[in-house]
């Protein structure tokens, strides 16, 4: 066995495993009065992992069970960078109360789930995909219930794990049908054996349903709002961007590679899901007053837009998907960063009306929130406009003009409910607005990074061209 090729091809996974082990050991033996250094240590280890694996690589291992490409590598780097931002935003939360005693567990669990997501992205076999998905799901369930004695965290954890078990069962059932029909689990071997029989169509439906739960697509979204509201804000941010990005890429890879002969069947199914997802999520988002529930339905709507890139089923679609995830991470984490900061400094306030007059006391945070919401809405010249444009273009060029038109109409609806928060912060008066407070240095670094991403990713065209070059 060529161990050098293993270390070079699986560099990102191996570096994360090393970071996982180191944080676990340090947390085990570090004195209690030194535990506050765990956040810094974890962030440094993750930053080192990003730096040493930033160069793209390509190859396959273990007979094709593990396969990677430059675009997959780029996505892993993007997801690692997003996780690093979440680590920075978690500093204040993990320094208070009971969470301070368990901060090591947070970093260990996060590293564990990130490893699982990377295996999903690089899976070349359905067994590897399922193992990666479960490795990512179980630690996330623990993270959702991390504040088990606060609010609805324990309830959120229970709902998440039950939904996850159900979706995993559906996926496993679909995979078993596909194996029964083709006699193999390898992505490269299956396409030549598919004949679009009723059993294979049913396996496609079950498999898609399993991943649709992870992506919070309608009608598989019922767990999302309760889980997002009950989970700690940092965990909610992780669920909304990191795990969703990995699941979307894995789904696109499998549809393009494995189910390529059945493109007519899955394109129709995904078209219906996209229309229903974006429309239903937008309508429910308007009704929300709790900002974490609001962001849950916003996240569901954004998943619909991500699926436009999947629907395209082309190299342009793959590039657009990764670029959309990159921009979405910057904008969404900026919003959650502000929500997290307010929650930590204002006795857990997360209602929209709590933000009335927010600009008068915290103008910088209000501007960060506004820029992020404008990007999520797709308003030029912010990066969100360009990310939506590219996924629309990819779907349009693949012949799905009607779906693109419906998505464009829904973009106008989304602008309305995003502006409701902007109106509360800048226009709606309040006798007792949230008091002025000062964020910690890690939080400020994370928010500045997100703002830079929102502005620069839309201006610097070389980022998209860089990703497009990797897809070729």
Print the domain residue range for 316.
3-471
Q: Which two tokens stand for residue 267?
A: 């394109």
Instruction: Single out the residue of 141, 107, 137 nearest to residue 230, CA to CA.
Output: 141
What lies within 8 Å, CB to CB, of 348 at 6+ separation is 151
Long-range contacts of 90-93 (CB under 8 A, 24+ apart): 90/39, 90/234, 90/340, 91/39, 91/440, 91/442, 91/443, 92/340, 92/341, 92/344, 92/345, 92/439, 92/440, 92/443, 93/232, 93/233, 93/234, 93/340, 93/344
Helix H or strand E segment including 60:
strand 59-61
| Structure token digits, residue 242 | 């990191």
Cα→Cα distances 135→49, 131, 139, Å: 20, 6, 7
Beta carbons of 386 and 327 less than 8 angstroms apart = yes
State yes or no: pLDDT of 465 exceeds 80. no
Q: What is the pLDDT of residues 68-125, one digit of tens each?
A: 888 888 888 899 999 999 999 888 888 877 776 778 888 989 999 999 999 988 888 8
The helix or strand, by DSSP H or E, that contains position 67, with its residue range, turns out to be strand 66-68
Write the DSSP symbol of residue 152: T
The structure tokens 């349903």 sit at 209
Provide the pLDDT for residue 151.
59
The size of the chain, in residues, is: 472
Over range 206-218, report the average pLDDT: 87
Mean pLDDT of 43-63: 83
What pLDDT sits at residue 85?
A: 92
Nearest to 124 by CA among 208, 67, 194: 67
> What total number of domains does the chain contain?
1
Say if residue 470's pLDDT is above 70: no
Written as six digits, the tokens of 112 are: 């564990």
pLDDT tens-place string over residues 394-403 = 888 888 889 8
Rounded CA-CA distance 19/133 in Å is 20
Q: Are 171 and 210 in contact (CB under 8 A)?
A: yes
d(CA 216, CA 292): 15
For the CA atoms of 44, 47, 53, 56, the dihedral, rounded to the nearest 10 degrees, stands at 180
Helix (H) or strand (E) holding 343: helix 315-345
Q: List all residues 6 or more positions away from 404 whose beta carbon is below 8 Å from its beta carbon.
A: 308, 392, 395, 396
**According to DSSP H, which parts of 216-290 are helical?**
224-230, 233-238, 244-257, 263-286
Task: Read off the pLDDT of residues 298-333 as tens digits, 9 standing for 90 and up.
Answer: 889 888 888 888 888 788 888 888 889 989 999 999
Q: How far apart, in whole angstroms, are the C-alpha atoms of residue 250 and residue 386?
A: 23
The Cα angle at residue 27 between residues 24 and 31, in degrees rounded to 5: 160
CA atoms within 13 A on the CB side of 362: 23
Look-up of token digits 């990005």: 245
pTM for this prediction: 0.91
Nearest C-alpha neighbor of 173 from the set 135, 224, 208, 197? 208
């Amino acid at each position: 066995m060529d161990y050098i090729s293993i270390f070079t091809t699986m560099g990102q996974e191996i570096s994360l495993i090393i970071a996982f082990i180191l944080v676990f050991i340090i947390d085990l033996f570090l004195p209690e009065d030194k535990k506050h250094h765990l956040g810094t240590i974890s962030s440094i280890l993750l930053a080192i992992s990003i730096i040493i694996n930033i160069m793209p690589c390509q190859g396959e291992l273990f007979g094709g069970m593990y396969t990677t490409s430059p675009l997959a590598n780029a996505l892993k780097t993007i997801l690692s960078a997003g996780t690093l931002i979440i680590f920075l935003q978690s500093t204040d939360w993990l320094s208070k109360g009971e969470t301070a005693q368990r901060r090591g567990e947070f970093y260990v669990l996060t590293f564990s789930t990130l490893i699982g997501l990377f295996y999903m992205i690089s899976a070349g076999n359905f067994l590897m995909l399922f193992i990666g998905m479960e490795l990512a799901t179980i630690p996330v369930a623990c993270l959702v219930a991390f504040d088990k004695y606060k609010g609805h965290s324990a309830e959120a954890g229970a709902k998440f794990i039950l939904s996850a078990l159900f979706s995993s069962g559906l996926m496993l059932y679909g995979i078993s049908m596909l194996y029964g029909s083709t006699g193999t689990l390898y992505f490269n071997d299956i396409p030549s054996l598919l004949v679009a029989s009723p059993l294979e169509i049913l396996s496609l439906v079950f498999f898609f349903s399993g991943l649709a739960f992870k992506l919070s697509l309608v009608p598989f979204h019922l767990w999302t709002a309760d889980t997002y509201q009950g989970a700690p804000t940092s965990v909610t941010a992780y669920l909304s961007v990191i795990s969703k990005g990995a699941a979307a890429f894995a789904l696109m890879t499998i549809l393009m590679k494995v189910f390529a002969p059945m493109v007519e069947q899955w394109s129709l199914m995904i078209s219906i899901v996209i229309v229903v997802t974006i429309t239903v999520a937008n309508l429910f988002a308007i009704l929300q007053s709790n900002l974490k529930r609001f962001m849950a339905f916003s996240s569901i709507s954004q998943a619909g837009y991500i699926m436009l890139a999947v629907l395209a089923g082309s190299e342009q679609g793959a590039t657009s998907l990764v670029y959309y995830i990159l921009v979405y991470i910057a904008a969404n984490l900026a919003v959650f960063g502000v929500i997290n900061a307010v929650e930590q400094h204002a006795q857990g306030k997360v209602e929209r009306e709590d933000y009335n007059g927010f600009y008068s006391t915290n103008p910088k945070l209000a501007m960060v929130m506004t820029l992020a919401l404008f990007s999520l809405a797709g308003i030029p010249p912010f990066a969100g406009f360009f990310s939506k444009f590219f996924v629309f273009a990819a779907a349009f060029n693949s012949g799905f003009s009607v779906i693109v038109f419906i998505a464009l109409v829904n973009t106008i609806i989304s602008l309305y409910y995003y502006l409701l928060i902007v109106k509360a912060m800048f226009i709606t008066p309040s006798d007792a607005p949230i008091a002025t407070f000062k964020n910690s240095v890690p939080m400020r670094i994370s928010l500045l990074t997100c703002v830079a991403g929102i502005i620069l990713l839309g201006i610097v065209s070389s980022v998209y061209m860089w990703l497009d070059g990797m897809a070729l």
